[in-house]
């Protein structure tokens, strides 16, 4: 129990350090589905089913990340102020069924 309390205190101190709240931290890394994909400009828009299919602004891809196709599940990172400024970190490999 002490370890869990210490971990919680660390997260709270970290959130206070950068000026955000815990709810802001929860939205910095998100999983979504590619809704549009531009292979030339290397940007995607991503829908988030857990947020009533809210769609992000255009998200640039990291340099080494191939441009994902529409309908693919991806991992995204955002600044703590919402889903307007962020990056697509790449496709999530769902493995074989």
Contact call for residues 19 and 10 (beta carbons, < 8 A) = no
Q: What CATH architecture applies to the domain 22-91?
A: Beta Barrel (2.40)
- Alpha-carbon distance of 56 to 59, in angstroms, equals 7
For residue 97, the model assigns a pLDDT of 47
| pLDDT tens, position by position, 5-62 | 544 454 444 444 445 555 556 778 999 999 999 999 999 999 999 989 899 999 999 9
pLDDT at 73 over 70: yes
d(CA 46, CA 37): 9
Whether pLDDT at 86 is above 50: yes
Q: Read off the pLDDT band of 96 (50, 70, 90).
A: low
Give the domain ranges of the chain: 22-91
pLDDT recorded at residue 43? 97
């Amino acid at each position: 129990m002490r370890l869990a309390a210490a971990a919680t205190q660390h997260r709270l101190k970290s959130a206070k350090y950068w000026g955000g709240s815990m709810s802001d931290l929860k939205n910095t890394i998100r999983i979504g589905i590619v809704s549009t994909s531009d292979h030339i400009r290397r940007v995607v828009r991503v829908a988030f089913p857990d947020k009533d299919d809210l769609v992000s602004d255009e998200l640039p891809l990291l340099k080494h990340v191939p441009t994902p196709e529409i309908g693919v599940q991806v991992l995204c990172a955002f600044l703590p102020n919402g889903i307007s400024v962020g990056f697509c970190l790449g496709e999530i490999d769902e493995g074989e069924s």
